[in-house]
A and B are shown apart, each in its own frame.
Chain A
Amino acid sequence: MKPVEVKNVNFAYEKDRVLEDINFSLNKDDFLAIIGPNGGGKSTLLKLILGIIKPSSGEIKIFGKSPEKNYLKLGYVPQDTNINKSFPIKVMDVVLQGRLGLSKKFWGFGKEDRKICLEALEKVGAEAYKDKRIGDLSGGQRQRVFIARALATDADILVLDEPTASIDSKGQISLYATLKELNKDKCIITVSHDVNVVLGFVKKVAYVNKSIYIHDSPAQNKSEILKDFSLSDDHVCPVELMVNEQMCLHQESKK
């Protein structure tokens, strides 16, 4: 059974058609980046997959069931900007929220939950700040914590909403490298703005602008995807793309 199946999906806010005739499916080992212009429907598609909103027509299946029924299979990583940074909470307690509904303990969380959360933090390289307050971390560190929280849910699919929006190029690359590692046993879907960086790491790219176009093996078709993208999206800066490319090459040569 496929982790994600999207069939003939249409979506409209009031009368505005946002998405038209969306069809695609993902395998267990897929790593998909959803790219496209602002207002093109990236976030809407993500919300549909998560079951936050329902399609106007067509259907979405998560392991054969509707997202509302199979929500525990989805590990969601929100945008950093949606988080209240003055909230008094330690990193460990954020990650423990991933155990909601799964913990064997009725009241509070148990040792086993803490162990799972610590392992999740280790996987994303964030165990060092487990006792820090969430607001004291940098954007990139916080994003790792949210990924750890999604891992702690033991979900089979990770769904990320612009995970690198507030991170510099170097941090972006290191974060995508971590995701690539996690992709060994998780299906990953990420909305992304950092087209050029993401192309070096993902297995599929979905270009969404009302309709969807899936590129397989993005690393080979890089120039084609970028051409698509720069035609439609006026905020892609060629200099930024070039700098990112150099960063990627630099990072790879170090390995």
Chain B
Amino acid sequence: MIDLLSYPFMQNAFISAFLVSICAGIVGSLIVVNRMVFLAGGVAHSSYGGIGLAIYFGLLPLLGATLFATLIALIIAFLSYKNKERIDPIMGAMWAFGMAVGIIFTDLTPGYNVDLMSYLFGSIISVSKNDLYIMFIFDMAIFLLVSFYHKELLALSFDSEFAKLRGIKVKFLYYLLVIMISFSVIVTIRAVGLILVIALMSIPAYIAEGFSSSIYKMMLYSFLLTLLFTIVGLLLSYYFDISSGATIILTATLIFFIYSIVKTAK
């Protein structure tokens, strides 16, 4: 374990596990209590369009993903705000649209880009210093926004109609929440890949919800659970020399199945 930490790529991997856990804890909890898991999945997948565009134009892929995911998130919020029951077809369309844009633009880019796979399935051991800075900035943004609006976000999540009748700007908060979801997709994408983001955004928070008496405890517990899943997954993937993103998700889903079975059997 100690000698593992002497490798710079492993140091980066552990730091990114920590950074991923922060946003999975905070935003993942908000996603689960607001029943927006599907939306998070849609934003994550559509960000592929931004990666394809960025590679085509020779920009930083994570930057492309950020802009594209935020744009898609805002469009989804705009289309679905008035009619949240009809969100499914909108999400389905956006999900596929982003993936399609990504595939076409990588097709148009000369030469096969191996690195692209790491955005799909993640590669926590190839996270660079620059990626860490980006992840840290978005984590800070999420942390500060949620701290500042914690009362209002709690009211919105628990009973949005009541919150609205008390003069809370629920529309603004809904947009803010959707933007924070796109931020957390960006933070997690390097670790587990955009296909698997949805698992880290929902599983730890779902398990934590069961034994938390407040949403802040839920955030703390799901932070700790995400940290556990990512580090255990990372170590397993290192020792068995298997794909890190998939191992992290397998660790999380395995615990999820055990938890769900035990909970249902009770």
Closest to B157 in A: A87
CA distance A109 to B151 in the complex (A): 9
CA distance A97 to B166 in the complex (A): 9
Contact between A97 and B209, CB atoms less than 8 A apart: no
Indicate if A253 sits at the interface (CB-CB under 8 A).
no
- 8 A Cβ contacts from B198-243 to A: 209, 212-215, 217-218
Overall SS of chain B's interface: helix
Q: Which residues of B contact A109 (CB under 8 A)?
A: 151
Shortest beta-carbon distance from A49 to chain B in Å? 11
The 8 A CB mask of B33-69 against A (1 = contact, 0 = none) is: 1010000000000000000000000000000000000
Indicate if B90 sits at the interface (CB-CB under 8 A).
no
Contact between B165 and A97, CB atoms less than 8 A apart: no
Contact between A88 and B215, CB atoms less than 8 A apart: yes
Q: Given A71-B167, A87-B157, A88-B209, do A97 and B214 touch, yes or no (CB 8 Å)?
A: no
Contact between B213 and A133, CB atoms less than 8 A apart: yes
CA distance A52 to B212 in the complex (A): 33
Contact between B166 and A78, CB atoms less than 8 A apart: no
CA distance A89 to B157 in the complex (A): 11
CA distance A13 to B165 in the complex (A): 22
Q: Which residues of B contact A86 (CB under 8 A)?
A: 209
Shortest beta-carbon distance from A148 to chain B in Å? 13
The 8 A CB mask of B158-173 against A (1 = contact, 0 = none) is: 1101111111100000
Q: Which residues of A contact B214 (CB under 8 A)?
A: 88-90, 93
Q: Which residues of A contact B152 (CB under 8 A)?
A: 100
Closest to B152 in A: A100
Contact between B166 and A71, CB atoms less than 8 A apart: yes
The 8 A CB mask of B137-165 against A (1 = contact, 0 = none) is: 00000000000001110110111011111
Closest to A108 in B: B151
CA distance A107 to B167 in the complex (A): 17
- Specify which of A50, A84, A87 lies most central, judged by the most chain B CB atoms within 10 Å of its CB: A87
CA distance A196 to B157 in the complex (A): 36
CA distance A65 to B155 in the complex (A): 26
Shortest beta-carbon distance from A253 to chain B in Å? 38
The 8 A CB mask of A24-68 against B (1 = contact, 0 = none) is: 000000000000000000000000001110000000000000000
Shortest beta-carbon distance from B179 to chain A in Å? 22
Contact between B161 and A100, CB atoms less than 8 A apart: no
Q: Which residues of A contact B213 (CB under 8 A)?
A: 88-90, 133
CA distance A108 to B159 in the complex (A): 18
Q: Which residues of A contact B218 (CB under 8 A)?
A: 88
CA distance A88 to B159 in the complex (A): 13
- Specify which of A78, A82, A97, A109 lies most central, judged by the most chain B CB atoms within 10 Å of its CB: A97
Q: Which residues of A contact B217 (CB under 8 A)?
A: 88
Shortest beta-carbon distance from B177 to chain A in Å? 15
Q: Which residues of A contact B165 (CB under 8 A)?
A: 50-52, 71, 74, 76
Q: Which residues of A contact B157 (CB under 8 A)?
A: 87
Contact between A101 and B33, CB atoms less than 8 A apart: no
Q: Given A93-B214, A100-B152, do A87 and B167 touch, yes or no (CB 8 Å)?
A: no
Give the contacting residue for B167; candidates A88, A97, A101; CB below 8 A: A101
Contact between A78 and B158, CB atoms less than 8 A apart: no
Shortest beta-carbon distance from B137 to chain A in Å? 23
CA distance A78 to B151 in the complex (A): 19
CA distance A76 to B164 in the complex (A): 11
Q: Which residues of A contact B212 (CB under 8 A)?
A: 88
CA distance A89 to B212 in the complex (A): 8
Give the contacting residue for A78; candidates B33, B150, B162; CB below 8 A: B162
The 8 A CB mask of A70-104 against B (1 = contact, 0 = none) is: 01101010100011101111100110011011000
Q: Which residues of A contact B164 (CB under 8 A)?
A: 52
8 pairs of A and B residues whose beta carbons are closest in the complex: A88-B212, A100-B166, A101-B167, A88-B218, A76-B165, A97-B155, A101-B166, A88-B209
Please, could you name 7 A-B residue pairs with CB atoms under 8 Å apart, sorted by A? A76-B165, A87-B157, A88-B33, A97-B163, A100-B155, A100-B167, A101-B166
Give me the interface of A with B, judged by CB distance under 8 Å: 50-52, 71-72, 74, 76, 78, 82-84, 86-90, 93-94, 97-98, 100-101, 107-109, 133, 149, 153
- Inter-chain pairs besides A93-B154, A97-B158, A100-B151, 20 sampled, C-beta below 8 Å: A52-B164, A82-B159, A84-B33, A84-B35, A87-B158, A88-B214, A93-B214, A94-B158, A97-B154, A97-B159, A97-B163, A100-B168, A101-B166, A101-B167, A101-B168, A107-B151, A108-B150, A108-B151, A109-B151, A133-B213
